[in-house]
Structure 1
């Protein structure tokens, strides 16, 4: 079984239980179809979500997330993905000072062919500094 789909099913079940609902296909089908304006989901279709056999489309994921009061990415990917992204963004924000931002702004104003040259120079310096990377 696909671990991504299985983890989604576990989060879906936990979210339904947190709302005080039984994680049963009939309950999910009824609640989902009351909120979704597209073609109704079948009992078999929602059962496959709960069993970790399939993932909902993005449109359906948005409906589920709103109903379950979760961020769509948290429901689909779990909170750890968002935490890793936040950590990487914080590292970038903390590590870049005024002078670096000034250089980045100047870089972004260059035409594409000049950016390519600057990029190659920077990567060459980085490789010379850390040849094992």
Structure 2
């Protein structure tokens, strides 16, 4: 069981408990299927999510988050989605201060496709190397890309 899946399952179970649901596969599959307009989730799939053997597809993750009143990025990534690594902390210190609750509230009102886009942008920024780590001078002997005439 991967650590990422195990951590997701813990956050999923905690979100269920926080909303007053017993974190059991039968409860998860039943309650999820009542609210999700797509393909039903089987008992086995719900069990895999809660036991740390699988992570749901994006559309199902968004539906879970909506049902459990949680942020889909938080369910998937935990505190790292909000805090990030060392490089992300540096960016946050330099960035203007925003009301996190207001920003997340606005985020939750966006359609699922826009939420996905926002998550992808945030993760791309978090994964991108900082400009400080790039060399400012060309490396001696390095070949420059050819320009097309």
TM bucket (normalised to shorter chain) is 0.5 to 0.7
> Counting helix residues as a fraction of each chain, which structure ranks higher?
1
Question: What is the TM-score normalised by the length of structure 2?
Answer: 0.61
Task: Name the count of aligned residue pairs.
Answer: 100
In the TM superposition, 1:54-65 aligns within 5 A as: 54-65=54-65
> What corresponds to 2:137 in structure 1?
124
Instruction: Measure how far apart 1:46 and its partner are.
Output: 0.6
TM-align CA RMSD: 2.3
Match of 1:41 in 2: 41
Q: Which has the larger radius of gyration?
A: 1
Structure 1 CA distance for aligned equivalents of residues 78 and 90 of structure 2: 17
Q: Counterparts of 2:95 and 2:24 in 1: how far apart (Å)?
A: 44
Give 4+ residue runs of structure 1 displaced > 4 Å after superposition: none
Q: Which residue of 1 aligns with 2:79?
A: 79
Which runs of no fewer than 5 residues in structure 1 stay unpaired?
95-121, 128-133
Shift of residue 92, structure 1, vs aligned partner: 4.0
Counterpart-to-counterpart distance in 2, 1:88 and 1:43: 43
Q: Which runs of 5+ in 2 are unaligned?
A: 97-134, 140-149
Corresponding residue for residue 29 of structure 1: 29
Q: TM-score, normalised by structure 1?
A: 0.67
Give distance in 1, aligned partners of 2:84 and 2:30.
35
Shift of 1:10: 0.4
Q: 1:91 aligns with which of 90, 93, 108?
A: 93
